[in-house]
Structure 1
Amino acid sequence: TTNKEDAIAVLHAFCTKWGKVYSHVIRSLKAIEPDLLVFYNYPKQIRASIYSTNMIESFNNVIKRKAKPKAVFPTEQSLDAFIGIQAMSYNDRYFNRIHKGFGQVQDTLESYFD
């Protein structure tokens, strides 16, 4: 759907249809409903980037690839330090990258934080 009102209507129809069969899941959905569709508050150009997990999956793949040769970390602190260093390196590498759609709406986004 293209707007929040339509998405809420679809969500409510889904809850009505499946509420009796999957009552626990529907209760969970209703509990998070205010946060579930919050990406509709942002410009259309960046919505896919907000609700997508591609950036998270990419970072997880970097961690897996770099941790594989190490096999075992001697302590939990060494693992924490390793992941922290990888996160800082990843952030440094992509610091100046403008994610798809964000360049088009930069002024609008900046106005949200003024």
Structure 2
Amino acid sequence: MPYKDLKAFSNDFKEVYHAINEEIALEKLYELKEKWGKEYPFAIRSWENNWDVIKSIFQISRRNTKNNLYYTNIIEGLHRQFRKVTKTKTIFPTDSSLEKILYLASMNVVKKWAQRYKNWDRVLSQLVIQYPGRLEEYI
């Protein structure tokens, strides 16, 4: 996406992921598609194709996501580390070798995730209820 449209697109896109619930978010996504869909179809298609996964974000309490869960910061940090380890290598012999180096990089990043968030116990209990059987082994 060209820089000239990036700020306007980002501001419009914030309405999608800052929505109070799934219905409003989906409505905002369709509004975004009407405005930007012809010019940047791939930016919106990814969200449409993965909506079943993304919609779970809107099932978590807004208070908890706003104060405690910083999805983009964590993801951006992980991607930054991935770029750091892959930028010096121009080619990987196999897909498996790329997977291995990204796995090792992710293990190093996970070690740094020790920051404790305010009201984390409340967030964790909501996640355990929302996704039964997924988090118990890590608690």
Q: 1:7 to 1:57 in 2, by over 3 A?
A: closer
Asked whether the equivalents of residues 3 and 40 of structure 1 are also in contact (C-alpha less than 8 Å), the reply is: yes
Asked whether the equivalents of residues 46 and 101 of structure 1 are also in contact (C-alpha less than 8 Å), the reply is: no
Q: 1:55 to 1:100 in 2, by over 3 A?
A: farther
- Structure 1 residues not aligned, in runs of 5+: none
Q: Does residue 83 in structure 1 map to residue 102 in structure 2?
A: yes
Give me the whole-angstrom Cα distance separating, in 2, the residues matched to 1:108 and 1:42: 7
Give me the whole-angstrom Cα distance separating, in 2, the residues matched to 1:102 and 1:60: 24
Give 1:41 shift: 0.8
Q: Does residue 49 in structure 1 map to residue 89 in structure 2?
A: no
RMSD over aligned Cα atoms: 4.2
Give me the whole-angstrom Cα distance separating, in 1, the residues matched to 2:97 and 2:53: 35
The alignment's TM-score, normalised by the length of structure 1, stands at: 0.55
Give me the whole-angstrom Cα distance separating, in 1, the residues matched to 2:86 and 2:52: 37
Q: Does residue 2 in structure 1 map to residue 2 in structure 2?
A: no
1:48-72 C-alpha deviation (Å, 9 max, x unpaired):
837x43222211211222344x444
Query: Could you tell which deviates more after superposition, 32-41 or 56-65?
Result: 32-41
Give me the whole-angstrom Cα distance separating, in 2, the residues matched to 1:81 and 1:30: 30
Larger RCO, structures 1/2 (Cα 8 Å, 6+ apart): 1
- Structure 2 residues not aligned, in runs of 5+: 1-18, 134-139
Letter in 2 for 1:49: L
- Percent of counterpart pairs with the same letter? 14
1:60-107 C-alpha deviation (Å, 9 max, x unpaired):
211222344x4445623443322221112222332x444676444222
